[in-house]
Amino acid sequence: MLKIAVLVDVQNIYYTTRDAFAKQFNYRQFWQQLSQRGEIVIANAYAIDKGDAQQAKFQSALKHIGFDVKLKPFIQRSDGSAKGDWDVGITIDALEAANDIDCLVLLSGDGDFDLLLLTLKHKYQCKTVVYGVAQLTATSLVNAADEFVKIEESLLL
């Protein structure tokens, strides 16, 4: 059976599905689709913690589905801008898992991950699959993946 690691860039998926469809991503439906492809051995959802009750409820739902939710504090800079991304953490976790999986599924449209996918394919012979909103996913990421799955109505709430 195919061993799958799924890594979710929660902020990216939240904003891209909201901006493109004005809807939320259906993580339960996604999990069901993915579990038909093989055994999910790692499932991490990377999010920013703003200490908000609604967010805590969402994170609890992710845990109930089967995700390990990794949180990083939200940082508000003095100039009003905000910081909070998980690119390095996602990359490290993917590389650490590479020898133990057959397939990495990345939920993100962030082109910064293209080099990660190419490394996983060429150095570790790991199949790479990206789920993203087509019009908001970097072309370089789509091109780096073995398979690109468009997030469409069937994966939305």
For residue 73, pLDDT over 90 is answered with: no
Maximum Cα interatomic distance, the chain, rounded to a whole number of Å: 50
DSSP line for 40-75? EEEEEEEEEE---HHHHHHHHHHHHHT-EEEEEE-E
Percent of residues, the chain, with pLDDT higher than 70: 96
Nearest CA to 155 out of 139, 127, 133, 129 is that of 133
DSSP-derived 3-state class of residue 139: helix
- Residue 54, class by beta-carbon neighbours within 10 Å (0-12 exposed, 13-18 middle, 19+ buried)? exposed
Residue 111, C-beta contacts closer than 8 angstroms, at least 6 positions apart: 138, 139, 140, 141
pTM: 0.94
CB atoms within 10 A of CB 123: 10
For residue 113, pLDDT over 70 is answered with: yes
Least confident residue range of 66-70, 84-88, 112-116, 144-148: 84-88
- What does CATH list as the number for 3-155? 3.40.50.1010
Please answer whether residues 5 and 42 qualify as being in contact, where contact means their C-beta atoms are separated by less than 8 angstroms: yes
